[in-house]
Amino acid sequence: MAKLERMTIVFPEPMAADIRAAVDRGDYASTSEAVRDAVRLWKDRQQLRERDLDAIRGAWAEGKASGVAGPYDMRAIIRQARARADKAAKLPRD
């Protein structure tokens, strides 16, 4: 079993009420369990963010390494984007 460390955490009243309500509903056995779950979710979110940033950094580096694309026609790019948007707007929605 993992070593436990006692910590004192202060929450604003609305957050504390949410945690107590989750325990009262039976979602968690204790406020400590609810907070541990929140920390696990936070840690997962941080890992996902880092993974996403790594992917973006890789794409950025790949794009830079591919060289200069050359001159571009901004008006043509805007026309193409508008045409795609118009086409998408005409598609049936479910």
Numbers of helices and strands, H then E, in the chain: 3, 0
In a domain, 59, yes or no: yes
In a domain, 30, yes or no: yes
In a domain, 91, yes or no: no
Residues 6 or more apart in contact with residue 33 via CB below 8 angstroms? 23
In a domain, 55, yes or no: yes
Tokens of residue 64, six digits: 């830079």
In a domain, 86, yes or no: no
Tokens of residue 45, six digits: 């979110």
In a domain, 54, yes or no: yes
In a domain, 4, yes or no: no
In a domain, 2, yes or no: no
Per-residue confidence (pLDDT) for residue 74, from 0 to 100: 94
Tell me the pLDDT tens digit for each residue of 49-64.
999 999 999 999 999 9
Boundaries of domain holding 18: 12-65
Per-residue confidence (pLDDT) for residue 67, from 0 to 100: 86
Per mean pLDDT, which range of 6-10, 34-38, 61-65, 69-73 is the poorest? Answer: 69-73
| Number of domains observed in the structure of the chain | 1
